[in-house]
Amino acid sequence: MVILFDRFNLPEDIYEVVFATKQQIIVAKLLIEHIKENHNEIGKTEMSMFATQLHEGTLITDIIQEPPYQGKKVKVSYNKRQFYDRILTPMKSMGMIDYDLYKKTYRLSDKFNKELIHIGLLWLKEMKQPPLKTK
C-alpha cells in the first residue's frame, strides 16, 4: 500500500491519511473500535464473524460522526472479500494490526508508528549522503 499525503493539508484523522474512501475509513474505524472493545485483541473466529456481519449488512453502529448519520444508528454493509483485501490486509502489512500465528489472534500494534519513524530516519540518511558524480 502506498500512502501519499500533502503535509500542508494533512488531515487530523489517521484513517483519512491511510484509506482512500469514506466507506473504507468507516469500516476501518469500526474494526479498530471492535478490537478495542475486546481488550485490544480478537480471535480469528471473532474477526470472521465481524466480516460476516459487515457482508450481511447486520452490523449496526452509532460511531459515524458524519452528517446525515451523526447521532443515529446505522446499518453498515461491506463486502467480506474487500474487507480482507482493502482493510485488514493493509492494516496488517503497515503494522497497525498484528496477527499472532500461534494464538490465532489479531491485536492492535504500535509497529506502524515505529515504521514511520524508520522511514523518517531513512530520509535523514539520504539527505546526509554526498551527491553522486554525474557527467
Give residue 44's domain range. Answer: 7-109
Let me know if residue 129 belongs to a domain.
no
Q: Domain total for the chain?
A: 1
Catalogue the long-range contacts made by 58-66 (C-beta closer than 8 Å, 24 or more residues apart).
59/30, 61/30, 63/29, 63/30, 63/33, 64/26, 66/22
pLDDT higher than 90, residue 4: no
7-47 tens-digit pLDDT: 999 999 999 999 999 999 999 999 999 999 999 999 999 99
Let me know if residue 134 belongs to a domain.
no
Let me know if residue 123 belongs to a domain.
no
Task: State the Cα–Cα distance between residues 52 and 27, nearest whole angstrom.
Answer: 13
Question: Dihedral (C-alpha) 110, 78, 34, 46: value to the nearest 10 degrees?
Answer: -100
Let me know if residue 99 belongs to a domain.
yes
Task: State the Cα–Cα distance between residues 18 and 9, nearest whole angstrom.
Answer: 14
pLDDT higher than 90, residue 81: yes
pLDDT higher than 90, residue 70: no
Let me know if residue 133 belongs to a domain.
no
Let me know if residue 125 belongs to a domain.
no
Residue 97 has what pLDDT?
98
Residue 66 has what pLDDT?
80
What is the rounded average pLDDT for all residues in the chain? 94
Put simply, whether the predicted model's pTM sits higher than 0.85 gets the answer yes
Let me know if residue 67 belongs to a domain.
yes
pLDDT higher than 90, residue 1: no
pLDDT higher than 90, residue 64: no
Q: What CATH number corresponds to the domain at position 49?
A: 1.10.10
Let me know if residue 28 belongs to a domain.
yes
